[in-house]
Amino acid sequence: DVKVTQSSRYLVKRTGEKVFLECVQDMDHENMFWYRQDPGLGLRLIYFSYDVKMKEKGDIPEGYSVSREKKERFSLILESASTNQTSMYLCASSLRRTSGLYNEQFFGPGTRLTVL
Amino acid sequence: KNQVEQSPQSLIILEGKNCTLQCNYTVSPFSNLRWYKQDTGRGPVSLTIMTFSENTKSNGRYTATLDADTKQSSLHITASQLSDSASYICVVSPYSGAGSYQLTFGKGTKLSVIP
């Protein structure tokens, strides 16, 4: 079974702090994604990566950066946390194939981040 | 712009009853459509996947249908159980010859099954 793990389930930080959210997948997936999920807005893509050291902006990259130094690990960084970044953060991974049937994204359990 | 609209936003049903959730999309060209189940405080988990050539797909008490002509899908839950209480998210993948990385997510339907 694919397993995607996230470093914390719950996190409380103060405004201005630098925050690291870590995600690890154990199925040798090429693609990894970071989403945030807010009530009434659904999942929104922050960044994704299709290879080591590669990254692409999603729909809402402002205020975030990412790092992918190893294939299995994808980190989301909040350089200076703000209260509007309080949210549920979900990491996902998928295989890279030309057929869309193989692009199922497997999600981690999520990190609920509160910025005070 | 690719969009996925789900209805209703929320639904309350009695345990043992059936229900149907709706999903309309404008994603084109279309590759496949998935329904995910998300328990409270957890990540989404895939229930079904259908390509444009498939009309129906079942997974236990969950049956998804797809009409690619009208760009509509539904998820039917039979004999609901308390454990079906969750958000159900419709996710559509556009076709991309280079590989479909990005998905279009609906906002979900929050289902509550009460005893």
Whether A58 and B102 lie within 8 Å, measured CB to CB: yes
Among A11, A51, A54, A105, the strongest candidate for a mutation testing the B interface, having the largest count of B CBs within 10 A, is: A105
Q: Residue A2: its pLDDT value, please?
A: 63
Choose among A86, A74, A95: nearest CA to A17: A86
Work out the average pLDDT over A1-22: 93
Q: Which residues of B fall within a CB distance of 8 Å from A4?
A: 43
Closest CA to A87 of A22, A41, A24, A48: A41
pLDDT digits (tens, 9 = 90+) for B9-42: 999 999 999 999 999 999 877 778 999 999 998 9
Is residue B104 within 8 angstroms of chain A, CB to CB?
no
Q: What is the pLDDT of residue B41?
A: 87
B10-14 and B109-114 strand pairing? parallel
Rounded Cα distance between B114 and A80, Å, is: 42
pLDDT of residue B5: 96
* Confidence at residue A97, expressed as pLDDT on a 0 to 100 scale: 58
Measured CA distances, B102 to A18, A20, B2, B40 (Å): 28, 23, 11, 24
CA of B7 vs chain A CAs: smallest distance (Å): 13
pLDDT of residue B32: 86
| pLDDT of A26 higher than 60 | yes
Residues of chain A found within 8 Å of residue B42, distances taken between Cβ atoms: 109-110
- CB proximity list for B74: less than 8 A, separation 6 or greater: B20, B21, B22, B23, B64, B65
Query: Residue A24's pLDDT is what?
Result: 97
CA distance B52 to B78: 24
Higher pLDDT, B46 or A1: B46
- Which residues of chain A does B44 touch, with a Cβ-Cβ cutoff of 8 Å? 43, 90, 107
Q: Of residues B100 and A77, which shows the higher confidence score? A: A77
Hey, how many other C-beta atoms are within 10 angstroms of the C-beta on B89? 26
How far is C-alpha B104 from the chain's CA centre? Answer: 12
Kindly calculate the radius of gyration of chain A based on its CA atoms and give it in whole angstroms.
14
Q: What is the mean pLDDT of chain A?
A: 91
Q: Work out the burial of residue A56: count CB atoms within 10 Å of its CB; fewer than 13 is exposed, 13-18 middle, 19 or more buried.
A: middle
Output A52 or B94, whichever has higher pLDDT. Answer: A52
Q: Which residue type occupies B56?
A: T
| Interface check B41 vs A, CB under 8 A | yes
* Shortest CA gap A41–chain B (Å): 6
Cβ(B12)–Cβ(B22) below 8 Å: no
Strands A4-6 and A19-25: antiparallel
